[in-house]
Structures are given as C-alpha cells and as structure tokens.
Amino acid sequence: MQDKINVTVWNEFVHEKKDEAVRKIYPNGIHTAIADFLGKDGRFSVRTATLDQEENGLPESILEKTDVLVWWGHMAHEKLADEVALRVKRRVLEGMGLIVLHSAHFSKPFKLLMGTNCSLKWREADEKARLWVIEPGHPIAAGLGEYFELPGEEMYGERFDIPQPDTTVFITWFEGGNVFRSGCCWDRGNGRVFYFQPGHETYPTYYEPNVRKVITNAVAWAAPRVNIKDDCPNAKVPLEPIQKRDLSAYRAIANKG
C-alpha cells in the first residue's frame, strides 16, 4: 500500500470570526470545510493550520512533512511572517505542492513564487460564473463535464498579472462581461503550483461538488515526485578532460576592444 499524501490546509481564519454571514457558511472556518472533504477521499492524510498559531501554524517541522499545502487568505496577507512565506516558497522549490485559492492570489507565498504583481480586476455582485474546461485531458479536470457553473461568485477578471501558466485548465465566463484564467498550473523548482479562482468567503463555494472535485484532483496532481534541497555546487572535477590552453592571445582582445 502506498503511503498517504500529507496535506496541510492553511487559512488565515479571520473573516469567519468577525463576520456573522461568513461564520454561517463556514462555522469552523474555510480550512475545516476543505479539510473535511479532502479527508474523505482516502488518499490524503489531512491537517489544518491557521495564521494565529505559533509560527503561523507552519513551523519547519510541519512543512517538512507536508506534501501538499492548500492556502486561503484575504485580509491578513501582510500578517504572515516573511520568514514563513519564504519557508513555504523554499519547500515548493524542493518539491512540495501548493494549491492557491481565490484571494490568495495576493498571498506572500504565491507572489514570491510568481515574481509578478498577481493583480486583477474584481467585483462583488452576486454574479454567475461558468468555468470552461480548456484541457479536458488534464488530471485536474478529471470527472468534470465541458463546463460547470457557480450561481454566485466574486468576479475576478483579466488582465491577471501572472507569468504565462504552464497549463491553463479553466477559463471563466462571468455574467458581468469579464473573463478569467481561473485554473492555472506552474512548475516551480521541483514543485507544482495550482491557482484556482473560486471561493469568496460569502459564498458556499467549498461545498460545491465540482469545486471539491477540482481541489481534490489538484491535491493529487501536486503531490511531490522528489524532495531536493537547494544547492549550487562547485563541480570542480570536470567529467571530461579539459585541454590546457594559452588564453593570452584571447585576453589581448581587451586592449583592442
């Protein structure tokens, strides 16, 4: 039997404590709702972590045994310790998977890994979203039809300032007239990153069956293949003989330059 994939679901867990409407939907936090359905899959061993815990819930010891990290944040991005953000980035480059949800497009780890502003257009207007499957053969689209709909979501619209994705799995049609690359994959270092747009805190998005399927597929897809520490070695001994040569004539071009 193969070992289970160790998943950590991280949430800033702020809205749910402050806002009655959000608490109604996610009484135990968005992280718990996500951990619940992932836990039922059978392939994953799931824990949660939140901003208010020590080291923001992500000490070295936890991250070291995390295979895939799921991330939700919105209003408290800046409260995450820089050191923790860099630690998450480092772990992705070593091989860990990272699933970035909705407003976490502005989270520190995602921005560090992308190298761009990750800006976009947005609108809260209870509008319909239709997610078109662009790559039906991609593992993250497994089990979906040609598209699926969400009756109400926050709009995120192009231009989305990201490096061109290695694969664009979904593009969303928004009722109010916008489009968005809503499911994007990148390889970074030895790890995999998936950004998925749905999940505003005032909607029950993470109970929606298709959304759950996507996140479940994404966690399985992002499971590490290797775990390689960063290294920039002096490969002092050449693999092939290097001819001794007199470079003085070459160096002399400097005087004529």
Site track 185-204 with a second copy (rule: CB under 8 A), x = hit: -xxxxxxx----------xx
| Residues 210-239 close enough to bind a second copy by CB under 8 A | 224-226, 228, 230-236, 238-239
In 3-state terms, what secondary structure has residue 50? Answer: strand
Contact residue for a second copy among 47, 127, 210, 213 (CB under 8 A): 127
Q: Looking at 24, 65, 67, 210, which residue binds a second copy (CB under 8 A)?
A: 24
Amino acid (1-letter code) at residue 85: A
* Positions in 144-163 near a second copy (CB under 8 A): 146, 151-152, 155, 157-159, 161, 163
To the nearest whole angstrom, how small is the minimum distance from the Cβ of residue 54 to a second copy? Answer: 27
> How many angstroms separate the CA atoms of 152 and 174, rounded?
10
Residues paired with 195 in a beta bridge:
100, 184
81 binds a second copy, rule: CB under 8 A: no
Cβ distance 30 to 72 under 8 Å?
yes
Least distance CB 61 / a second copy (angstroms) = 22
- Considering beta carbons, is residue 123 or 213 the nearer one to a second copy? 123
Q: Pick the binder of a second copy from 172, 183, 197, 199 (CB under 8 A).
A: 172
- Do the Cβ atoms of 142 and 100 come closer than 8 Å? no
Cα-Cα-Cα-Cα torsion 91, 112, 77, 21, nearest 10 degrees, comes to -80
Residue 142: Cβ within 10 Å count: 14
Nearest-approach distance from CB 208 to a second copy, in angstroms: 7
* 109 and 188 Cβ atoms separated by less than 8 Å: no
207 binds a second copy (CB under 8 A): yes
Around 84, how many Cα atoms within 13 Å sit in the side-chain half-sphere? 24
- Asked if 240 is part of the footprint of a second copy (rule: CB under 8 A), the reply reads yes
Considering only residues 7, 9, 10, 26, which one is a binding residue for a second copy as defined by CB under 8 A? 26
Q: How many residues bind a second copy (CB under 8 A)?
A: 96
- How far apart CA 242 and CA 240 sit, in angstroms, is 6
28 counts as binding a second copy under rule CB under 8 A: no
